[in-house]
Amino acid sequence: MLSRPLLALALAAAMLAPVAHATTPPRNPGAIRNVVLVHGVFADGSSWAAVIANLQARGLHVTAVQNPLTSLAADVAATKSVLAMQDGPTVLVGHSYGGKVIRQAGDDSKVAALVYIAALAPEAGEDFGQLAERFPAPPGQASIRVTDGYAQLDEAGFIANFAPDASTVTAHVLASVQAPVAAGLFGEHTTVAAWKSKPSWYAVSTDDRMLAPAMEPFLAERMHAATVELDSGHASPITVPGSLADLIVRATEGGR
């Protein structure tokens, strides 16, 4: 397996070259400056590499959390430790399971807005498994393998379902470095629904194969989030980073 630093370099080489040449509009001087990004399961913080470069090119201060993925409490603690380092109001962004983390950690006083990206967003104490049963099972679920209490996606399933619209090289790299996930993580309940008190945005992945596509608009509507639909699979931070950066910038400026 590649180490996380090598993954970051590999992804940078594969995805970031166009960003350096992008022309971006000037930012609203009164906008929020800080962005904290929270990855989901079967990934790590370097999955945000292209989004980070895009946001940095627009003058934002960006930090990616490295979730241990051992328990929801541990992931929330990791996120709150990063929030404590921010020097002012912050937009907190979660991808996939990261939406569950920001929903809990989003009650932090520094969090001014929340952005969900193909993300879980349960009610406080909600049994998300029962909620998921209301929608057709996505094909990616069949690719999850559990060994000694930890879950991963098998390589073929990762490429076909987690990152089907990524380049072959990038998909194989991401599959090889996916972080092991404590199997019990999927059933843990949150106790806070930060989206009830913080303005929220949601990016729906219309071709998602890890979450039921119909679930994402349902969650976005339930939280009254400003919503965009993206023609992408689950790994939208990898495949459509510019569109996600646009949405995050809107959140920093309060644009609905």
pTM for the model? 0.89
Alpha carbon distances (Å) from 158 to 19, 45, 116, 168: 26, 17, 21, 11
CA distance 234 to 156: 15
Query: Is the residue at 26 inside a domain?
Result: no
Query: Is the residue at 196 inside a domain?
Result: yes
Pairing between strand 34-38 and 61-64? Answer: parallel
What does the block give as tokens for 241? 């980073």
Alpha carbon distances (Å) from 122 to 84, 139, 147, 200: 24, 21, 27, 14
pLDDT in the model for residue 118: 97
Q: What are phi and psi of 237, to 5 degrees?
A: -60, -25
Asked if residue 150 lies in contact with residue 126, where contact means CB atoms within 8 angstroms, the answer is no
Beta-carbon count within 10 A of 169 CB: 11
Query: Is the residue at 25 inside a domain?
Result: no
Structural domain containing residue 228: 4-14+31-253
Query: Is the residue at 105 inside a domain?
Result: yes
Q: What is the CATH number of the domain that holds 131?
A: 3.40.50.1820
**Higher-pLDDT residue of 168, 255:** 168
pLDDT in the model for residue 190: 84
Asked if residue 219 lies in contact with residue 129, where contact means CB atoms within 8 angstroms, the answer is no
What is the count of structural domains for the chain? 1
Mean pLDDT of 196-222: 94
Beta-carbon count within 10 A of 129 CB: 9
Query: Is the residue at 21 inside a domain?
Result: no
pLDDT in the model for residue 130: 81
pLDDT tens profile 226-244: 999 999 999 999 999 999 9
Query: Is the residue at 214 inside a domain?
Result: yes
pLDDT in the model for residue 217: 96
pLDDT in the model for residue 9: 40
92, 234, 217: which is closest to 163 by C-alpha? 234
Looking at the predicted structure, is the pLDDT value of residue 14 above 90? no
22, 48, 65: which is closest to 235 by C-alpha? 48
What does the block give as tokens for 67? 């979730």
- Residue whose tokens read 């907190």: 92
What does the block give as tokens for 168? 């072959």
pLDDT band at 55 (very low <50, low <70, confident <90, very high): very high
CA distance 63 to 200: 19
Q: What angle do CA 152, 103, 77 make, to 5 degrees?
A: 70
- Residue whose tokens read 């930890």: 150
pLDDT band at 6 (very low <50, low <70, confident <90, very high): very low
Pairing between strand 144-147 and 150-153? Answer: antiparallel
pLDDT band at 131 (very low <50, low <70, confident <90, very high): confident
pLDDT tens profile 62-117: 999 999 999 999 999 999 999 999 999 999 999 999 999 999 999 999 999 999 99
Query: Is the residue at 23 inside a domain?
Result: no
Query: Is the residue at 20 inside a domain?
Result: no
- Residue whose tokens read 């090119």: 57
